[in-house]
Amino acid sequence: MYGIDGNRLLKEEVLPHLAGYENSRPVRIGNAAYNQRQNDSLGYLMDVIYHYYKLFSRDVERDRGN
């Protein structure tokens, strides 16, 4: 993950002097997720593999006539 300036350190900071949309608080800049491991794309890959085998693999027992 990179910031718009190319920086990889995206420390999250609270800006208490600012109000957000419809006066919501706290306003944060940065992204604390930069130091988290994100595994969600591996789940998508496993889902694709599962559906591929479900659709295209042959049922050996059925083909043998059992």
Give the other-Cβ count within 10 Å of 32's Cβ.
Answer: 11
Instruction: Name the DSSP class of 25.
Output: S
pLDDT band at 11; cut points 50, 70, 90? confident
Per-residue model confidence as pLDDT tens digits over 16-37: 999 999 999 999 988 888 788 8
User: Which of 40, 29, 39 lies closest to 3, judged by CA?
Assistant: 29
Domain boundaries, the chain: 13-60
- Token code pair at residue 37: 């491991």
**Chain segment 29-66, per-residue pLDDT in tens:** 888 887 888 778 888 999 998 898 888 877 656 666 65
Model's pTM, two decimal places? 0.44
